[in-house]
Structure 1
Amino acid sequence: MTQAPTTARQTALERFKELMRELLQLDLADLDFGIYRLLNARRSEVEAFLSEELPRKVDEAFAGMTDAEREAAAAEAERLAHRAREALGDDAFLAGDQPNPTYVATPSMRAYVAARERLDGIVATDEQKAEVFNHLHAFLSRYYDAGDFIPHRRYGRHEAYAVPYNGEETLFHWVNRDQHYVKTGERFRDYAFRIAGADMRVRFSLVSATTARDNTKGETRYFFPLTDDVSWDADANRLTVPFEYRLPTGAELTGTTGAKLQEALLADAVDAIGHHAPDAATRAALIAPDPNRPGDDAPLLLRHLRHFAKRNTTDYFIHRDLGGFLRGELEFYLKDQVVHLADLDGDLGPRQRMLRVVRELAQVIIGFLAEIEDAQRRLFEKRKFVLRTDYLVTIRCIDRDVWPRIAANEDQRRAWRELFAIEPDEIGADEAALSAFFESHPTLVVDTRHFDEAFRDDLLATFDDLDGMTDGLLVHGENYQALRLLGPTLAGKVKCIYIDPPYNTGNDGFIYKDRYRHSSWLAMMSERLRLARDILSDDGVLFVSIDDNEVHDLDMVLRQEFGEERYIGSIVRATGTTTGQGSGSLGKSYEFVLAYAASQDADVGGIALTAKDQLRYRGEDTRGRYSTLLLRRTGNQDRREDRPSMFYPLEAPDGSEVWPIGPTGYESRWRVGPRRYRAMVENDLIHWNRDEDRWVPYFKFYLEGRTKRPSNLWTDLAGNKKASIELRDLFGSRPFETPKPMALVRRLIEISMNDDGTILDFFAGSGTSGHAAIDMNRIDGGRRKFTLVDFGQYIGNLLVGRIQRAMYSPDWSRGKPARLPAESEIYNSPMIVKFVRLESYEDTMHNVRASDWPQLRGAFDSAVEESQGLLNADGLERPFEYEIEVLTDDGPRKQKVDLVETFNLAYGVHIERIQVWTNEVDRRRYRAASGHKDGHRLLILWRDMVEPPLDPQVERTFLEERIEPGAYDEVLINGDSAVPGITSLDPIFKRLIEEDR
């Protein structure tokens, strides 16, 4: 049987379907993360939408339009035929309404013939339908790039792009400005999976290129498995496969590029990696098909290699309003590409018909794509859950009767040994020895993660002002998500923000989209700086370390977010080392710190005087050392006419008059007026010198409390090598590659805040900012608090470990404490530091399941709405059992959510006490958090409403007895309550989770 020839319409449709499949990643059925899981779950419906519904909609659109057009055109032709009969007579037409050849040249007959031709031409041809799909393809392909929509605003044939511009004097723009950058999760760099039936894991780890490669080609980077460097760790039962992500060399290009080259690189590596497996059975499992995916012949290892590569090369951005963007661009496309000026001179009917159909179909597709993008946006922007809350508490803050329980905990004892080099036998076995040890080590840190929930509840109940006693907050989470969650709690309290973000050198761990390196970085920085700006107090200052790779772009973003008038300055800091000494470039021995103020109320204070500065304070009296300054004005504005009121005589010690006369005899002036001078004399601030035959007055200024205004060139601070030494002293090794010296952060704190307030660092790295705040408090008795945020896998051992070491001892050497704090230092040391772990965006996406929604449209909204990650209202009935699945190296696992802490942070409550109340009648436990918010006293209650079954009357009796009338301005509880005056927190919580930025 002869196959029918492919029509133009079919060809165009298939081309458009291929674009949509690529756009939606439908060609990769094994992608089971993020939105792709939902797409694959509705894969058949998406295919039906592309193959059946879209062509049908094109036919229906053309049919509807042509029917309406034909009806109108037929009426017009009938009207003109009637007019021709009136003008020419009854013989104007022959049989069948054919024009009489005798009259075809007359105006009325010509008008009828033209109308009849228009009527006959109103048909939807195959070519027109093909053109619709070609236009849809051309329109969407403008904005799609390997898994992301890139918002290129088109302008025309000459100036290709337009940017949104509202008449500002200057405008700084980057291509991803309207998008969220989402590629900050640690799992996007490292990936692990477990082999079924074998107690081992395979881990893929992205490493930096160790050597520069010449002759690199193109702009697209690829994943290169380093098969010669695959390693087997028998102790951990782990096979590690390192990767480089880089441009290929000319020799590595095999004639293919893009996805085909990446597939070839991965496929070729399967056997080589398998040879490193510890035994034949493991190797066989790696190269065999996945037993959990029947019908898929790809080796298990190859499937995971593809998965790893795809995770790192797609979904860099989420558009904040994809639908609005594409609809606006569609209107321009229709005017620029579908209807042309030349069409105005001809028959506009076919063009109008095409425009309407293209617009109608494009709107359907835009709606579908926008629903998918909006689902991801909602999940990215929603405030993330706190998964776990722990506390680091110094032993001096804990009641003595709890000490034996602490000493009996073997995990805590091991931690003390690893952290503080405290051997078990030092602690003592009996109660007297134990008490003596804890009394002599008052800054010993107790970590609640080593204890059960009951211990933590008992411990927290002993504190009367928990947040007041909490000196630091450590957050393990992506910094955008942390800033979103912490915003209500920190707003107005942060006086100093210092961050040391990735410098976007290409070798610093920042993951960017090929061809969009700078715009990826700007998209990441801009929205985090915007959130940080809103957290700063009115007198707060932001400092950002950066090198000259991105300093200019960063400064433009800061000017945009803070305002040019808030620019304080650019500090040039000597790093102490020279880098980047390649051919054709200058070596770099400095970095910048850009400084911006939150408002006009902010100011930069002085810094302490150096020993050299103090040498000028040579005078001394009963009030201390002092220096002097000539009372006569010198330099500019030193003439009598400049300030006539400051030209007056002074009485010298011998009673003579002294006038302000300049060195050449001109009439000068004093620095102060008569009233101020008399006050200075009364306060003994005037010093007289006898100079030859005349008296010369000076005024005294004292050394005590004196500071100096900092310049923007800092060459006197320790460089980066000192930072590495500081870490080696703490840990006995160098666990972090790019720390900043504490001296730098101490100075930034010194000039931006007094001895209280909070410093925030949301690129915390090794925790230098927190350590610097602890150090300064010990020195001057301040109560500076710190909040540190980071998402690295090292946070538990490095950042938390550093803070614990800093809490315990001021001085360290070779990984051991050099001394215990002195008595004054003990009371200036931190009391409590809180550590919270946040849900990640990946976790949120993972908890979305395919919906039972009957139609494709609305299915993604429905899936998001039903997700545990978006706060399932039904789950609030059992708040202590609320669970989500989190992604780990061992695969997904169930994790309870700390809804209490999540709500407290999102609502911005200052918590004073957290207690557990037990109703003895039904044994129901209530977690009661009391505190204040915006000057109002607040009580927040949580309880399980299912186990035991809730009896409203029993609860009412208990709570009315427990809560003192008038003690609180607001009492909230999960679920509903029969107690008058108690309000459900559920709608508040739901609003907070999805609250717009």
Structure 2
Amino acid sequence: MQYKVVSTNYLISVGKILEATKDDTIERKAIISQILQNEAQLTDWRETFDLDLTEQLPLIEEHYSTLPLDTQYFDDVFVDDILASFPDLEDQINGVLLNSENFQALNLIQEKYSGKIKSIYIDPPYNTGSDEFVYKDSFRHSSWLSLMYDRLILSKEMAQHNSAIGISINEEELFNLKLLLDLAMGSYNYLTTITVKVRSGDRILTGDKDIQEVTEQLLVYRNSHDFTPAKRIVDNTSNAEYCWRVLEITKSNQTLNLGGKEVSVFKPDEFSIEQVEPSEKYLKRINIRGSIREGNSSGRFYINYLEPMFDECRGHLFKVPNMGNDELGYRYFYIPASDVNRKNGDYFQGVPIDRSDIKEYSYPNHWHAEEGYWDMEPIFNRVGYEGAVTFRKGKKPLDFVTKYLVLTGVEDDTFSICLDYFAGSGTTGHAVLKLNKTDNGNRKFILVEMGDYFESTLKERIRRAMFSENWKDDKPDPKKKIDGTVGIVKYQRLEQYEDVLNNLITSPPDYDAKTELPVKYLYRPEEQQIRLTMDMSHPFSNRITYGKDSTEGFVDVLETYCYLKGLSVQRHLRFDLNDQVYRVVRSGTRAVVFRNVTEEDDTSQLLEILADERLAGVTQLDVNYDANQQALLENSELRQIHLISTSDFDTGAVWNTIET
């Protein structure tokens, strides 16, 4: 059973509208005028962003280009006109927010995003028994693992080959989850378990714990061997380590032929080694141990020729010609004197001729204060203030999620798509917006959340982050710059399992049923009929009841169809012809058209739509219910026509009773 989109709206920065209408000042002023006449939108801006706008000038002159307009306050005609102004809507959308149980959402978007997701991050319920999560948080281990496995398999299908998934967890289910991921992702795709300190050891969470948890874990798996984690980029221009000078006090009186090289040998009183102020003209001292012993030519030379003489040559210096990639033309090796308690020698090198300005290192699996990493306890303690929204328990810091996205290559791939289907307060989306700000990238996010806080927290955080990063006391900080993101975010409500049950027509069973059991939950095929049978002749009139408050609405047939067929919405157009509304989506060389079908032949209207320059090059038409296919093929560039029927939506089973 496929679930449907029941509402679609957008958060659109004013700057996006101004950019789309820059060549038509009349249209621009007309749009701004309509916005300023919408009291619901103005009230929202006053209450949320502390802005009281009554004149066009501040908006037209881009004083508030990051201010997000919310299309829920406007009628369909206005919204359709705005969307039609974007030449590639899909490309300009920064993110999608899906208000849905995540299993339903992952199923619906499967076709559209198959093989496109670069990075997946989720922070699922830890199965600790807490009752503050929308998803049940006190499963039996097997039930919790089943919940996770179903979703992991769906999300894996949407991931690129060179992608990764990271899952935050604590010790309650850590080892069970590791085994489950080995099964779902393949044990050979396991990358690491990152340990993150999240609270002080002195902070007592519960008094009945023998050992207090101060860390959480982040399990990271790749989707295939094509994925390589990003490296840390470290500045390599410093000369701080080039602080050693070797002076030859007298000329060497001894040479040895080692490995085909004439090596000069200096006794302890024939040279000196001094530590001096760092400079590029001095040397770096490297202790020959660990991987260095066989990792480079100097290490191997020492092991093969000098280490065997270690005991008899304590305190000696060796000058080896034609070695190293600095300007010296030789390399010094030193065996420590007998009064130095170590067994490893040293070599001295100059600044490499080809030294790059940066150096790459692998990320550590323990995020701490050394080498640019930190103990995350202070960040987790401040997380409640991030994003200008409140979200108790489970909110992850922006820096933490950003660090994970960088590790999985999202920073380097400016067109990557990130998925989080336990979205919570929306940290992943916020992190993607911030990354895009740093390099003007076009990364995108998909966030899925089913809770009541979808509106009050998730969506609210994203639109506040779009407007500005600087907030204080629940308002934009008046002392700081408005530094948000000019963009578009789509948000949608999807039909849920409960909605399907609420749209059933039930027939009372022939037998006695428990009075406390709602008849609809019996769901016996011979006694049920789906009330919502999609009417393709009048696609905009398909009513649906959804949500806890039984909201009456209409199925968004256009968005639902595009998801099910895996179509990107490149152009979103509306045509009003002969008192009929035609809603059109262009996806590559394919056009999708929905309209109410009457007894009159509307071939001329369809041909007029296909002749629109915005649909130039379209060769396939998907049109609802019925159409004069021969006339359309003969009078346009079309090569293929598909008549959209109820079966395309797979609304679920409708059973006929079989008499026996």
TM-score by length of 2: 0.75
Tell me, in whole angstroms, the C-alpha distance in 1 between the residues paired with 2:97 and 2:425: 12
Partner AA of 1:867 in structure 2: I
Partner of 1:280: none
In structure 2, relative to structure 1, the CA distance for the partners of 1:628 and 1:394 (3 Å cut) is farther
In structure 2, relative to structure 1, the CA distance for the partners of 1:739 and 1:663 (3 Å cut) is same
Q: Do structure 1's residue 876 and structure 2's residue 536 form an aligned pair?
A: yes
Q: Do structure 1's residue 408 and structure 2's residue 66 form an aligned pair?
A: no
Partner of 2:525: 861
Instruction: After TM superposition, give the deviation of residue 973 of structure 1 in Å.
Output: 0.7
CA contact (8 A) 2:13 2:67 kept: yes
Counterpart selection for 2:379 from 713, 722, 725: 722
CA contact (8 A) 2:199 2:380 kept: no
Counterpart selection for 1:977 from 622, 627, 631: 627
Match runs of 1:469-868 below 5 Å? 469-509=92-132, 517-577=140-200, 578-583=203-208, 585-609=210-234, 634-635=289-290, 638=293, 662=306, 665=309, 696-698=348-350, 700=352, 704-716=357-369, 717=374, 719=376, 722-723=379-380, 725-728=382-385, 730-731=387-388, 734-753=390-409, 754-756=412-414, 757-818=416-477, 829-850=485-506, 860-861=524-525, 866-868=529-531
Counterpart selection for 1:885 from 537, 545, 548: 545
Q: Do structure 1's residue 385 and structure 2's residue 14 form an aligned pair?
A: no
In structure 2, relative to structure 1, the CA distance for the partners of 1:453 and 1:628 (3 Å cut) is farther
- Corresponding residue SS for 2:198: strand
Instruction: After TM superposition, give the deviation of residue 451 of structure 1 in Å.
Output: 0.9
CA contact (8 A) 1:630 1:699 kept: no
Partner AA of 2:230 in structure 1: G
**Per-residue deviation, residues 376-401 of structure 1 (Å, max 9, x unmatched):** xxxxxx22111111111111110333
**Per-residue deviation, residues 248-300 of structure 1 (Å, max 9, x unmatched):** xxxxxxxxxxxxxxxxxxxxxxxxxxxxxxxxxxxxxxxxxxxxxxxxxxxxx
In structure 2, relative to structure 1, the CA distance for the partners of 1:993 and 1:831 (3 Å cut) is farther
In structure 2, relative to structure 1, the CA distance for the partners of 1:410 and 1:956 (3 Å cut) is closer
- Corresponding residue SS for 1:877: coil
- Corresponding residue SS for 1:806: helix
State the superposition RMSD in angstroms.
4.1
Q: Do structure 1's residue 900 and structure 2's residue 558 form an aligned pair?
A: yes
CA contact (8 A) 1:766 1:799 kept: yes
Partner of 1:78: none
Tell me, in whole angstroms, the C-alpha distance in 1 between the residues paired with 2:2 and 2:508: 26
- Corresponding residue SS for 1:527: helix
**Per-residue deviation, residues 36-73 of structure 1 (Å, max 9, x unmatched):** xxxxxxxxxxxxxxxxxxxxxxxxxxxxxxxxxxxxxx
CA contact (8 A) 2:130 2:137 kept: no
CA contact (8 A) 1:907 1:992 kept: no
Partner of 1:909: 567
Tell me, in whole angstroms, the C-alpha distance in 2 between the residues paired with 1:499 and 1:625: 47
Partner AA of 2:504 in structure 1: V
**Per-residue deviation, residues 431-452 of structure 1 (Å, max 9, x unmatched):** 435534xx11111111111111
Partner AA of 1:466 in structure 2: L
Instruction: After TM superposition, give the deviation of residue 822 of structure 1 in Å.
Output: 7.1
CA contact (8 A) 1:562 1:596 kept: yes
Match runs of 1:153-552 below 5 Å? 382-398=1-17, 399=21, 400-401=28-29, 402-422=31-51, 424=52, 427-429=53-55, 431-436=56-61, 439-509=62-132, 517-552=140-175
- Corresponding residue SS for 1:706: strand
Q: Do structure 1's residue 941 and structure 2's residue 560 form an aligned pair?
A: no
Partner AA of 1:725 in structure 2: R
Partner AA of 2:115 in structure 1: G
Tell me, in whole angstroms, the C-alpha distance in 2 between the residues paired with 1:626 and 1:702: 14
Partner AA of 2:593 in structure 1: L
CA contact (8 A) 1:574 1:590 kept: yes
- Corresponding residue SS for 1:911: coil
How many residue pairs get aligned? The number is 560
Instruction: After TM superposition, give the deviation of residue 556 of structure 1 in Å.
Output: 1.2
Aligned-pair identity in percent equals 26
Tell me, in whole angstroms, the C-alpha distance in 2 between the residues paired with 1:976 and 1:627: 83
Tell me, in whole angstroms, the C-alpha distance in 2 between the residues paired with 1:465 and 1:706: 39
CA contact (8 A) 2:234 2:358 kept: no
Tell me, in whole angstroms, the C-alpha distance in 1 between the residues paired with 2:426 and 2:569: 25
Instruction: After TM superposition, give the deviation of residue 637 of structure 1 in Å.
Output: 8.1
Partner AA of 2:49 in structure 1: F
Tell me, in whole angstroms, the C-alpha distance in 2 between the residues paired with 1:575 and 1:773: 22
- Corresponding residue SS for 2:456: coil
In structure 2, relative to structure 1, the CA distance for the partners of 1:913 and 1:696 (3 Å cut) is same
In structure 2, relative to structure 1, the CA distance for the partners of 1:440 and 1:887 (3 Å cut) is closer
CA contact (8 A) 1:540 1:602 kept: yes
Tell me, in whole angstroms, the C-alpha distance in 2 between the residues paired with 1:888 and 1:659: 74
**Per-residue deviation, residues 341-399 of structure 1 (Å, max 9, x unmatched):** xxxxxxxxxxxxxxxxxxxxxxxxxxxxxxxxxxxxxxxxx221111111111111103
Partner of 1:215: none
Partner AA of 2:576 in structure 1: T
Instruction: After TM superposition, give the deviation of residue 614 of structure 1 in Å.
Output: 8.9
Tell me, in whole angstroms, the C-alpha distance in 2 between the residues paired with 1:627 and 1:589: 45
Tell me, in whole angstroms, the C-alpha distance in 2 between the residues paired with 1:703 and 1:485: 48
Tell me, in whole angstroms, the C-alpha distance in 1 between the residues paired with 2:644 and 2:198: 51
Tell me, in whole angstroms, the C-alpha distance in 2 between the residues paired with 1:626 and 1:388: 68
Instruction: After TM superposition, give the deviation of residue 412 of structure 1 in Å.
Output: 1.1
Instruction: After TM superposition, give the deviation of residue 567 of structure 1 in Å.
Output: 0.7
Instruction: After TM superposition, give the deviation of residue 951 of structure 1 in Å.
Output: 1.7
> Which one scores higher on RCO, CA 8 angstroms, separation ≥ 6?
2
**Per-residue deviation, residues 563-593 of structure 1 (Å, max 9, x unmatched):** 1101111111100244445346101100111
TM-score by length of 1: 0.51
- Corresponding residue SS for 1:739: coil
- Corresponding residue SS for 1:801: helix
The unaligned stretches of length 5 or more in structure 2 are: 22-27, 244-278, 314-321, 336-345, 512-521, 634-639, 654-660
Tell me, in whole angstroms, the C-alpha distance in 2 between the residues paired with 1:526 and 1:584: 29
Instruction: After TM superposition, give the deviation of residue 492 of structure 1 in Å.
Output: 1.6
CA contact (8 A) 2:118 2:162 kept: yes
The unaligned stretches of length 5 or more in structure 1 are: 1-381, 649-657, 668-673
**Per-residue deviation, residues 944-980 of structure 1 (Å, max 9, x unmatched):** 114xx43255456545655899812421111121033
Partner of 1:115: none
Tell me, in whole angstroms, the C-alpha distance in 2 between the residues paired with 1:412 and 1:625: 62
- Corresponding residue SS for 2:569: strand
